[in-house]
Amino acid sequence: MSEQTLTKGQRDVLQRVQEKGVAFVDLQFTDLMGVVKNVTIPSDQLATVLAQGIWFDGSSIEGMARVAESDMYLVPDLETFAVIPWTEGEGRTARLICHICTPNGEPALSDPRRVLYEMQERARKMNLVFKTSPEMEFFLLRPNGDERAIPPRPSDSASYFDMPTDITSGLRREMTVALRAFGIAVESLHHEVATGQHEIQFQYDDALRSADNAMTLRVALKMVAEKNGLYGTFMPKPLRAVSGSGMHVHQSLFYAADEVNAFADAGDAHGLSDLARHFMAGQLAHARGMCAILAPLVNSYKRLVPGFEAPINVSWGRINRSALIRVPRAMQPERTRVEIRCPDASCNPYLAFAVMLAAGLDGIRRRLDPPEATDEDLFSPRFGRGSLFRRLPSTLKEALDALEEDEVIQEALGLRIYRSFLDAKRSEWADYCQEVTDWELRHYMRY
């Protein structure tokens, strides 16, 4: 393949491959369930792939394509090029995240990344840019004798914001260095509430780039943890009676023309503009409908219970960490944001950010107003099932039922992804319901 037929951007990527001594290139994409898929090519094949893409069998990827339409191909996104920092020497490898296309060159309807891109385009037509910053919480566990992490054993005995004194503090720094190699700017890193639990938060970025970063962190965490003899997991609730791992997402809309934060209004009691209130009201209105996308596992709903700073009611407030949406205090107007607290990092971030944006834009379109802010403890008995608040779903089944009733969220996903996701998760729930757990054996064997 002659490089003369390539674009300048493609030639620049080839030049970087040569300068950095890259021997292989990982072409990555994300399936419906948020699992990173990968095909590796020798670097001398990259020019051909950049010009023509690379074919794969879409029917072998869950929710990607039916058998009769299995031929699909990957087109690298040049802006995602990065050298993978834990590879070196003759095995030095770079990464490119890819678009998924059909044989006729059209974006695949089943590509989760496309869903977010198209929702962002909808916002851009309103002169708005959606930016996010996820707080990625995770557990670091010590493998057992069989090298598995079951039952889970926390890697440390520390708690929230404790001074770093063990291997995991160095590992968090090692992860930050690795993420920097991917062009990811980390804002903070610290120990979380539960033993073995940690958090890394990115700086604000375009939602598509933030979703790419979230997927990169999920891969990097497991690699760096394994290198240090530990097991990393984003499972929302691996341990009973401790805080679960969430993915709180800070979010704002900026005006595309001048990059001014469209959520900011210094004259408002919460610092929020009318547009921000409409956006938040839309997310509150669709909270139940989008919950299955934001918290997609059976295990997710063992995190969304009272007593662990995870939301159970559809509400908002400023100082209230039991609310679904929190409005952190902003020291500068450009940092004005709203934080949604029900997502966890097991979700597909492309689909999660897409439905969050769709819900917010629906609130703007319909000029919805949120209810009064609540800065009381929503875990109080008076805010129980008889309260004025709607409840978030308490099981995956309930969340899927709510998704089936929410046409705005369905439309944001597209019919192909919506039906595939719903079918897969209904099957997952049915399988879980047939499982006989250790709890049942302990409590019922005596009968």
Q: pLDDT tens digits, residue range 401-431?
A: 999 999 999 999 999 999 999 999 999 999 9
pLDDT category, 216, cuts 50, 70, 90?
Answer: very high
Tokens of 295: 């918290």
Cα–Cα distance, 254 to 26 (Å, whole number) = 33
Query: What's the rounded mean pLDDT across residues 201-228?
Result: 93
pLDDT at 377: 57
pLDDT at 388: 62
Q: What percent of the chain has pLDDT over 70?
A: 91
> At 189, is the secondary structure helix, strand, or coil?
strand
| pLDDT over 50 (residue 434) | yes
Highest mean pLDDT among 257-271, 292-306, 384-398: 292-306
Query: What's the rounded mean pLDDT across residues 352-361?
Result: 98
Residue 424 phi/psi, 5° resolution? -65, -40
| C-alpha distances in Å from residue 141, one per residue of 83, 90, 346 | 27, 32, 17
pLDDT at 160: 77
Residue 26 phi/psi, 5° resolution? -90, 120
Q: pLDDT tens digits, residue range 60-76?
A: 666 555 544 567 889 99
Q: What percent of the chain has pLDDT over 90?
A: 69
Which domains, from first to last, does the chain contain? 3-109 (3.10.20.70), 117-444 (3.30.590.10)
Query: What's the rounded mean pLDDT across residues 105-113?
Result: 90
Active site amino acids? 57, 135, 137, 192, 199, 248, 321, 339, 341
Are 207 and 116 in contact, with CB atoms under 8 Å apart?
yes
pLDDT at 376: 60
In 31-163, where do the E strands start and end?
36-42, 54-57, 71-76, 82-83, 93-101, 128-141
pLDDT at 380: 56
pLDDT category, 165, cuts 50, 70, 90?
Answer: low
Query: How many residues appear in the chain?
Result: 447
Q: pLDDT tens digits, residue range 306-316?
A: 888 899 999 99
pLDDT category, 2, cuts 50, 70, 90?
Answer: low
Residue 47 phi/psi, 5° resolution? -60, -40
| pLDDT over 90 (residue 382) | no
- Weakest mean pLDDT among 171-180, 200-209, 283-292, 349-358: 171-180
76 closest CA partner among 121, 14, 5 = 14
pLDDT, greater one: 264 or 187: 264
Query: What's the rounded mean pLDDT across residues 35-46?
Result: 94
| pLDDT over 50 (residue 81) | yes
- Weakest mean pLDDT among 8-22, 94-108, 243-257: 94-108
Q: pLDDT tens digits, residue range 328-347?
A: 988 888 899 999 999 999 99
Residue 307 CA, distance from chain mean position: 24
| pLDDT over 80 (residue 386) | no
Which residues on adjacent β-strands are paired with residue 73?
A: 55, 101
- Weakest mean pLDDT among 49-63, 175-189, 211-225, 277-291: 49-63
- Weakest mean pLDDT among 37-51, 65-79, 186-200: 65-79
| pLDDT over 50 (residue 385) | no
